[in-house]
Amino acid sequence: MKHKRIFAFDFDGVIGLPHGSFKGNGYHNNVNHEVVDAVRRLKEMGHTIIIYSTRSTDFLRDYCAQNNIPADYFNTNPEFDNLNRGKPVATVYVDDRALCYRGQSSQELIGELINFEPYHHNHSKEK
């Protein structure tokens, strides 16, 4: 392995299959088996896995334990706690509601932001 990386996976819409709007901390999403398989493989390779969400850390910890999803941290990265109080520090973020900045002009960026739809919105239209 080149070097150990830190991968941060969002819960709703990535680890847990999308279910429309947020329904509350107690609502259990179905497992996204493709993503969980990737998480397991990355963990086996020695990488650090963070699961982050607007949901509580206890919910995430319980969900991952019940579904055998390996994770090092939930909603935080203690290796960098003194440096950052917000989003956990990671090498790569996997999120269904993210727009990748690739050096677009301001006009291109605005267009992409205005027209953005999460993956599951486009995916559900195909079915």
Per residue in 66-122, pLDDT (tens digit) is 999 999 999 998 887 666 667 888 999 999 999 999 999 999 999 999 999 987 766
Domain positions in the chain are: 6-96, 99-127
Per residue in 29-60, pLDDT (tens digit) is 789 999 999 999 999 999 999 999 988 999 99
* Residue 79, pLDDT score: 81
Per residue in 63-80, pLDDT (tens digit) is 999 999 999 999 998 887
User: Could you give the angle at the alpha carbon of 59 between the alpha carbons of 56 and 65, nearest 5°?
Assistant: 140
* Residue 85, pLDDT score: 65
User: Could you give the angle at the alpha carbon of 76 between the alpha carbons of 52 and 116, nearest 5°?
Assistant: 35
User: Could you give the angle at the alpha carbon of 10 between the alpha carbons of 53 and 40, nearest 5°?
Assistant: 125
Contact 75, 60 (CB under 8 A): yes
* Residue 120, pLDDT score: 72
For residue 72, give the nearest of 16, 2, 6 by alpha carbon: 6
* Residue 127, pLDDT score: 44
For residue 4, give the nearest of 38, 39, 47, 50 by alpha carbon: 47
- 6-96 belongs to which homologous superfamily? HAD superfamily/HAD-like (3.40.50.1000)
Q: How far is Cα 46 from Cα 69, in angstroms, rounded to an integer?
A: 15
Please provide the average confidence, as pLDDT, over all residues in the chain. 87
